[in-house]
């Protein structure tokens, strides 16, 4: 059985919507609901763990109870950093889960195909992350603004979510990060530092994270074209 943790406890500072950005409407439906419906369409997914700010738990719970067709869900309080929100969610994962996925609630355009590929690869390899080949040349730049290196673009991938791991590996990685006071920018970075393998699963460019107001326009446009 697969458990999915959805971090949704951020402040949406770059969106400046005045409300939690994952409650904004996209194609007539809150972003969070759209995301949860897509995961609910995946057979192996057994539970949804939604992490929101402590003062939003009751309201979000009430809102989700009105939505039909969702897999069993729970809403729990997050922390001040995304990684702490995940940590809180991890404490609630069912004993029956063998694989845990983490997916930004703010990525409502993820496909079932990508979710399934991440589950299968996580089970086979221990860890798997959705990603797309970098389109732009990327430079390493020092503190003075001088270019230090140009890594070959063919080796660079832009990482998204879902990121999936065997449960024991993700738990171990998070405990190690807490013990060492390590704060990563994604979940896989915690797993990489305990020496466990992480495989890349090719996703698609539609799986954007709704971060700034223009991302909403882009997401609406993607919604209008038929899904692959
Ligand atoms: N998130 C979280 N807990 C935090 C910070 C972020 O659960 N302490 C969640 C967000 O709600 C979002 C996802 O992690 O679904 C990705 O983070 P991001 O896009 O950066 O969202 P925000 O942190 O809300 O936005 P901003 O950085 O602009 O404030
Ligand atoms: Mg943030």
Domain ranges of the chain: 2-224
Instruction: Indicate the pLDDT class of residue 106, thresholds 50, 70 and 90.
Output: very high
Q: Could you tell me if the CB of 23 is within 6 A of ligand 1?
A: no
Q: Could you tell me if the CB of 31 is within 6 A of ligand 1?
A: no
Angstrom distances, CA of residue 15 to CA of 32, 160, 215: 15, 19, 9
Q: Could you tell me if the CB of 22 is within 6 A of ligand 1?
A: yes
Give the CATH class of 2-224.
alpha beta
Ligand 1, closest atom to CA 79? 8
Q: Could you tell me if the CB of 7 is within 6 A of ligand 1?
A: yes
Q: Could you tell me if the CB of 85 is within 6 A of ligand 1?
A: yes
Residue environment code for 159-194, b if the CB has 16+ CB neighbours within 10 A, otherwise e: bbbbbbbbbebbbbbbeebeeeeeebebbbbbbeee
pLDDT value, residue 225: 86
Between CA 14 and CA 213 the distance in angstroms is: 8
Q: What is the mean pLDDT of residues 70-83?
A: 98
pLDDT value, residue 96: 98
Whether residue 116 contacts residue 155, with contact meaning beta carbons closer than 8 Å, is answered with no
How many other CB atoms are there within 10 angstroms of residue 140's CB atom?
Answer: 9
Judge whether residue 104 has pLDDT over 70.
Answer: yes
Whether residue 209 contacts residue 160, with contact meaning beta carbons closer than 8 Å, is answered with yes
Q: Could you tell me if the CB of 12 is within 6 A of ligand 1?
A: yes
- Percentage of residues in the chain with pLDDT exceeding 70? 99
For residue 14, give the ligand nearest its CA. 1
Query: Considering only CA atoms, which residue is closest to atom 13 of ligand 1?
Result: 104
Whether residue 9 contacts residue 78, with contact meaning beta carbons closer than 8 Å, is answered with yes
Torsion of CA 174, 177, 178, 179, to 10 degrees: 120
Q: Report yes or no on whether pTM surpasses 0.90.
A: yes
21: Cβ–Cβ under 8 A, 6 or more apart, which residues? 10, 12, 15, 31, 106, 210
Q: What is the mean pLDDT of residues 216-228?
A: 85
Ligand 1, closest atom to CA 212? 28
Judge whether residue 226 has pLDDT over 80.
Answer: no
Ligand 1, closest atom to CA 20? 24
Angstrom distances, CA of residue 157 to CA of 105, 137, 160, 175, 200: 21, 11, 9, 27, 8
148 alpha carbon – ligand 1 mean position (Å): 30
**Mean pLDDT for all residues in the chain:** 97
Ligand 1, closest atom to CA 105? 15
């Amino acid at each position: 059985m697969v458990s999915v943790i959805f971090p949704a406890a951020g402040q949406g500072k770059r969106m400046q919507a005045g409300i939690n950005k994952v409650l904004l409407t996209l194609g007539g439906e809150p972003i969070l609901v759209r995301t949860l419906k897509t995961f609910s369409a995946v057979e192996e997914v057994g539970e949804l763990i939604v992490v929101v700010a402590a003062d939003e738990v009751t309201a979000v719970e009430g809102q989700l109870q009105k939505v039909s067709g969702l897999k069993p869900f729970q809403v729990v309080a997050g922390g001040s950093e995304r990684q702490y929100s995940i940590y809180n969610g991890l404490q609630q994962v069912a004993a029956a889960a063998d694989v845990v996925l983490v997916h930004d609630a703010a990525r409502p355009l993820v496909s079932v195909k990508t979710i399934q590929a991440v589950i299968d690869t996580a089970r086979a390899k221990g860890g798997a992350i959705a990603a797309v080949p970098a389109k732009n040349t990327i430079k390493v730049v020092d503190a003075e603004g001088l270019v230090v290196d140009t890594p070959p673009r063919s080796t660079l991938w832009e990482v998204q979510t879902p990121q999936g791991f065997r449960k024991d590996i993700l738990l171990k990685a998070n405990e190690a990060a807490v013990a060492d006071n390590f704060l990563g920018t994604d979940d896989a970075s915690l797993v990489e530092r305990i020496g466990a393998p992480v495989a890349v699963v090719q996703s698609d460019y539609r799986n954007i994270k709704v971060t700034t107001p223009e991302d909403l326009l882009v997401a609406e446009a993607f919604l209008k074209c038929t899904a692959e």
